[in-house]
Amino acid sequence: MSFYTVSSIGLSGMNAAALRQAAASSNVANTLSDKMQRAQVVQKALPDGGVAASLTRQVSGSDDLVRDIVEGMGAVYLFKANLISLRVADEMAGAALNLKG
């Protein structure tokens, strides 16, 4: 697996996590709105690794504030995990270059 592949997988995960955080924040902020459109993130695995994420909205009379808060917290951890994978890939690439030199 190349450095580029690992980087693109980590970056796509970070983007998906950021979108999940934005959706959760939007849901929390609009919980009391009359015509709330619940934000939801749909993720799809990509054939070469990584994930494609898109935001959908649905009109919902129900709100689940606890679920939205937990979803936002989970998104933060997903972002951090993907960031760590990028850091490790960078360290491995640097170590490989040092071995060649």
Residue 38 placed within a domain = yes
* Domain membership flag for residue 98: no
- Once rounded to an integer, what is the mean pLDDT over residues 19-38? 91
Is 36 contained in some domain?
yes
What HEC string does the chain produce? CCHHHHHHHHHHHHHHHHHHHHHHHHHHHCCCCCCCEEEEEEEEECCCCCEEEEEEEEECCCCCHHHHHHHHHHHHHHHHHHHHHHHHHHHHHHHHHHHHC
Q: Give the pLDDT confidence score for residue 23 in this predicted structure.
A: 96
The reply to whether 84 falls in a domain is: yes
Query: Does the residue 48 lie in any domain?
Result: yes
Q: Is the residue at 59 inside a domain?
A: yes
Q: Would you say how long the chain is, in residues?
A: 101
Domain contains 56: yes
Residue 81 lies in a domain: yes
- Total domain count for the chain? 1
* pLDDT for the residue numbered 18: 97
Q: How confident is the model at residue 101 (pLDDT cuts 50, 70, 90)?
A: low
Containing structural domain, residue 76: 3-93
Q: Read off the pLDDT of residues 39-85 as tens digits, 9 standing for 90 and up.
A: 999 999 999 889 999 999 987 656 788 999 999 999 999 999 999 99
* Residue 57 token pair: 């909205």
d(CA 68, CA 11): 23
